[in-house]
Amino acid sequence: MPVYHLSTRIRANIAPSYLLYDLCIYRMDSRRNKYSLVDVKQQPLQGNYETQRHATDDINDPLSTIYIMEVTLYRTTLLETICVSLAPFTHMYTLEEFANGKAWSAVKRENPCYFESIGIPKPVSQGGETKDVKISIPERPFIAKEYPIGDPRDPFEKNKIERDISDRLNHWSFPTQGNASVCGPAAFFYCLQKDRPDIYAQAAWELWRYGKTKIGQLEILPSEGCRHPSGLFYTPDGYNRISGLDWITMASLRDSENALLSFDTLDSPFAGVTMWQILTEWFEKAGYKMVFSNVGITQAGIQGVHELNEYARKGYKVVTLINDGLLNSGSSLLTVPTHWIVWEGPLTQDHAGMVQLNLFSWGQVREQIKSGKNLSFLINRFFGGVVFKSLK
């Protein structure tokens, strides 16, 4: 098994010899167990502001494996060493990027940074002097038109996003699209949340901070309209139509694929329709490996159901395209493909031949097929699916 030498770099306006760093490079599994490749404290920087190249143990992870990086900076003086990071800086890169010295950004603020004001004011004994220090703070990327910054119902307020991300890390809630037509992104982010909750959380924070993120090779770069959406985020009785977190993640992903249409309002049904080629591409760019597909515009038939059921029995990720009239919450009377779901186990039948399937849809993980329906009812509303290996 190979050994890799991993590094990142920082941005600063003082000599690197005055700075030290903590560096932790890790990933989590589906149960939030943490596995560190590097975990070092108060190390010196190289002359080009790059960290030391830290050796890993022997590992067999693919180079496409995504890891989270945490960096804390320290300023040294003749008398003491002071921590100058209010919180660890975090970013995610692939193992290949870390190993090839590419785990840093050309954009200054997307790196661990430390800057000092230049110039020493005259002491009072010499007449005194005032120095002006100008600090620029970029505008927050996501601002709802109806709920600007400072509005108590601002859906993108930091504490709300932080609380919702914590819920997702603990699997207390799941992606919920509400009235937005983003069931494809919901299926993708649900699988990511279950397999790699650390990547899900990091992607959400990067979108909130910078208005963009990259998951493996999947670049999510929402348009100006998506980052400043119009529409009502709340029902008349105060409940979320869609949370700020879900808009940041799901609408951004869908908007990134729209060359002609902007997903810029909560009622954008056409802009939100996801074709299976695009959904498959999202998964594969994020590092998932597709092992089977029988999805299409026509019903997959009994054979298609059996094929997918075998993969579900073996624990694969099974994402299928259905007509939403198959589900309790669906209302469609037509038998055309309208909705993506994720299976949470195999399809079963009771003694009377009625079907049951534990699945993810509309933020819920439970049995959701209309009660008292047989296999024929399901087949008429079932258009196959795509199967992936779980992401490590």
Tell me the pLDDT tens digit for each residue of 292-315.
Answer: 999 998 888 899 999 999 999 999
Q: Cβ(56)–Cβ(38) under 8 Å?
A: yes
**Pair (306, 202) in one structural domain:** no
Flag whether 143 is in a domain: no
**Pair (280, 294) in one structural domain:** no
Most confident of 7-11, 138-142, 295-299: 7-11
Flag whether 139 is in a domain: no
Query: Does the pLDDT of residue 65 top 70, yes or no?
Result: yes
Query: Does the pLDDT of residue 269 top 70, yes or no?
Result: no
**Pair (192, 276) in one structural domain:** yes
State what percent of residues in the chain have pLDDT above 70: 92
**Pair (229, 299) in one structural domain:** no
Flag whether 242 is in a domain: yes
List own/partner pairs for 334-340 with CB under 8 A and 24 or more apart: 335/299, 335/380, 335/381, 337/297, 337/383, 339/183, 340/183, 340/184, 340/186, 340/187, 340/274, 340/279
Q: How many domains does the chain have?
A: 3
Q: Cβ(378)–Cβ(384) under 8 Å?
A: no
**Pair (275, 166) in one structural domain:** yes
- CA of 311: how far to CAs of 10, 61, 127, in Å? 45, 24, 80
The whole-angstrom separation of Cα 116 and Cα 96 is: 33
Tokens 């002097």 belong to residue: 129
In this structure, the number of other CB atoms found within 10 A of the CB of residue 172 comes to: 9
pLDDT: is 335 or 75 the higher one?
Answer: 75
Buried b (16+ CB within 10 A) or exposed e, 225-259: bbbebebbbeeeeeebbbbbbbbbbbbbbbbbbbe
Residue 151's pLDDT is 95
Query: Does the pLDDT of residue 16 top 70, yes or no?
Result: yes
Q: Cβ(236)–Cβ(245) under 8 Å?
A: no
Domain that holds residue 229: 158-285
Beta strands in 164-244 (DSSP E): 213-215, 218-220
Q: Which of 245, 261, 285 is the last residue of a domain?
A: 285
Q: Which of 256, 285, 314 is the last residue of a domain?
A: 285
Reported pTM: 0.92
Flag whether 279 is in a domain: yes
Flag whether 170 is in a domain: yes
Q: Cβ(23)–Cβ(75) under 8 Å?
A: no
Q: Cβ(266)–Cβ(231) under 8 Å?
A: yes
